[in-house]
Amino acid sequence: MAHGAGRRLKRSDAIARFKDRHRRAELTRTALGGRVICDDPELLYAEHPDAYKDVDPVIDALEAAGAARRVATLSPVITVKR
């Protein structure tokens, strides 16, 4: 079963793109108010949410194929990056 949609940007490209646009402190909170715990500043940029594809088309395809059924939408309270 799919657990995501995959990366849109290579890690090195994400670091280059987001390092100039965001301060590290901005990346320790999610848009939904959750906390991100990470000791490695480079990893914060590499794992920026915009580095990933939108998961909704994947979920829609799984539902259309009868392979899955959407039952909930989860919002992480704490994310740990190592």
Q: What is the pLDDT of residues 37-61, one digit of tens each?
A: 999 989 999 999 999 999 999 999 9
Report the distance separating Cα 43 and Cα 55, nearest Å: 21
Tokens of 34: 């959750």
Note the pLDDT tens digit of each residue in 17-30.
999 999 999 999 98
Catalytic residues: 3
| Strand ranges in the chain using DSSP code E only, listed in sequence order | 35-38, 78-81
Residue 2 pLDDT exceeds 80: no
Domain ranges of the chain: 11-81
